[in-house]
Amino acid sequence: MTVAQEPSALNFECETGNYHTFCPISCVAWLYQKIEDSFFLVIGTKTCGYFLQNAMGVMIFAEPRYAMAELEEGDISAKLNDYEELKRLCLQIKRDRNPSVIVWIGTCTTEIIKMDLEGLAPKLESEIGIPIVTARANGLDYAFTQGEDTVLAAMAHKCPTKAPKLESEKKERNAVSSLLNFGRKKEDVTEQESEYKDHQPLVLFGSLPDPVVTNLTLELKKQGVKVSGWLPSKRYTELPVIEEGYYVAGVNPFLSRTATTLMRRRKTKLIGAPFPIGPDGTRAWIEKICSVLDIEPQGLEEREAKIWSSLEDYIQLIRGKSVFFMGDNLLEVSLARFLIRCGMTCPEIGIPYMDKRYQKAELDLLEKTCNEMGVTLPTIVEKPDNYNQIQRIYNLKPDLVITGMAHANPLEARGINTKWSVEFTFAQIHGFTNARDILELATRPLRRNNNLKELGWEKLVKEEAKI
């Protein structure tokens, strides 16, 4: 008599290596574009300024809404008055840009010299009349994408709560509603409201491009789920109302501090769902939200199957191949789960920081996917040691390594296919319709090398010589 063997659980390791990632102050690059009425002031040294210039120099013609407050020797030795200097800068920002909010981004230096940004902000914002959000985004404690996490966690404190409506406010709201619905039949207005089921308010958090926000909001609307707001919103003045008992759900794996802040400080209920990356993750995300809100989801199985069939041309390129994640942007577990579902194997997932509670649903889905696909569960290595990791890459010989920019060229020189992990951070990868973009990125180095082999190296050199 044989006993059925239970599938093995995920194996976690921690090597306490350094964060080999971009500095988290780079979150300014996408947040200033997302929050249109904001201004970001990064407080650090010239090194921080050089990094921002290099990382975001391509956007210089867009006149970005961020600036660098450079600390000099006098600041670091505490000879100058921090408050007066920050006040001068913020007044200049108010005069030149007049934003709805100024976000102070603390750096490694402000941490080391113990600059009390949180203490300075309330006094200064009352003096200049502009809200100031203080966020720590230093590279000592945080990995690349966690800069956004600290900003959103700080911004969660600024979200309004419902106040008793005055009679004048009611009249104003009714007037606005009448204006918006002018020319529409009363039946159409009633029908639009009836598309939503009756459920507790739901707020989603995570910075995504506007088309992706619209896409995910509409996917939930098809199930009768109404999204009460997004954190962050397109404008700071439109931050969502968040009250005790509201449900919240995240769209990115690196937002664990924001989730904790919303639960502990704002007394919300977190929906622990996998993240909407890939058709499988998007379906699981919607299903979990529906189950918590006591709504029966409709048509998701057919929707997912249709997306998978449309991806077959890409999946043929990677089916049976192996992928190795070195660890950079905290999207590694979600991307690995999706690529395993596409038919790949994944021996190791390196990740800078792992919050097992916040990512529990994603880890469960990863384990379930591996068992369904009949592949070995990957080892998840937190804060991987690069030297050891590279030795493992040499031994395993994966078909593709997804890595930070620093290691890509050395690995390519040794005949290993690589893809920059930062490209997944800036690409639109959420929702059903964007699954193709993930595979476009993942398969690009494989397609490139296949083309080079077909062309032949000698012929390629001759063609380049002609050019």
Say which residue the tokens 């007394």 belong to: 267
Taking the C-alpha atoms of residue 186 and residue 181, their distance in angstroms, rounded to an integer, is: 9
**Cross-strand bridge partners of residue 322:** 345
Using only C-alpha atoms, what is the Rg of the chain?
A: 24
Distances 245 to 166, 264, 265, 285 between C-alpha atoms, Å: 23, 12, 12, 20
Which tokens is 425 given? 């951070």
Q: Does domain 194-298 have CATH number 3.40.50.1980?
A: yes
241: how many CB neighbours lie within 10 A of its CB?
14
The continuous run of DSSP H or E covering 70 comes out as strand 66-70
Model pLDDT, residue 208: 95
pLDDT band at 186 (very low <50, low <70, confident <90, very high): low
Whole-angstrom distance between the N-terminal and C-terminal Cα of the chain?
71
**What is the torsion angle, in degrees rounded to the nearest 10, for the CA atoms of residue 164, residue 167, residue 170 and residue 171?**
-170
In one-letter notation, the amino acid at residue 391 is Q
Say which residue the tokens 């390196």 belong to: 350
pLDDT at residue 205 tops 50: yes
pLDDT band at 1 (very low <50, low <70, confident <90, very high): very low
Fold category of 24-142 in CATH: Rossmann fold (3.40.50)
pLDDT band at 53 (very low <50, low <70, confident <90, very high): confident
**Using one digit for the tens of pLDDT, what is the confidence trace for 112-167?**
888 889 999 999 999 999 999 999 988 888 888 999 999 999 999 999 997 545 44
Average pLDDT over residues 266-294: 96
Contacts with 400 (C-beta within 8 Å, 6 or more apart), sequence order: 318, 321, 322, 323, 324, 417, 418, 419, 442, 445, 446
pLDDT mean across residues, the chain: 86
Contacts with 196 (C-beta within 8 Å, 6 or more apart), sequence order: 221, 224, 225, 226
Model pLDDT, residue 17: 76
Model pLDDT, residue 5: 40
Q: Which residues of the chain form CATH 3.40.50.1980?
A: 24-142, 194-298, 302-457
Which tokens is 325 given? 């994640």
Give the helix ranges, DSSP H, for 247-347: 256-264, 278-292, 300-310, 312-318, 332-341
The pTM score is 0.88
Higher pLDDT, 75 or 345: 345
Residue percentage of the chain with pLDDT more than 70? 85
Residue (of 215, 218, 202, 143) closest to 430 by Cα position:
215
Model pLDDT, residue 74: 64
Higher pLDDT, 20 or 306: 306
pLDDT at residue 177 tops 70: no
* CATH number listed for the domain at residues 302-457: 3.40.50.1980
Average pLDDT over residues 429-434: 95
